[in-house]
Amino acid sequence: MATKMKIKTGSTGGYDVLVLAKHPMETGNRKDEKTGELVPAHFIQTMVFSVNGAEVAQANLSQGVSANPLVGINIQTAKAGDTVSVNWTDNKGESDSVEGKVA
């Protein structure tokens, strides 16, 4: 699964960080059309946002979020040259991360 991130100047100051996580986000309530069996739950639980290695925000997601979620935050304390990283972990222990520099 691939995660993409975009960092841009925020309209209210700071920097807006937008993260697009490629993930199926299955609720566990949908039936497979071919077999009729429930598709097992598979969803991102936690996204952690860090600036220069220091955690600045955490998003807790659940089954109710659509596939390939776009999550955004504004980081007021970031400045040009800082490294922003985002790590996520799902309910099956899978994870991904992405990193970018503030321009």
* Domains of the chain (ranges, CATH numbers): 3-95 (2.60.40.10)
pTM over 0.75: yes
Give tens-digit pLDDT for 16-52: 999 999 999 999 999 999 999 999 999 999 999 999 9
What phi, psi does 99 have (nearest 5°)? -140, 145
The dihedrals phi and psi of 98, each to the nearest 5 degrees, come to -150, 150
2: confidence class by pLDDT, cuts 50, 70, 90 = confident
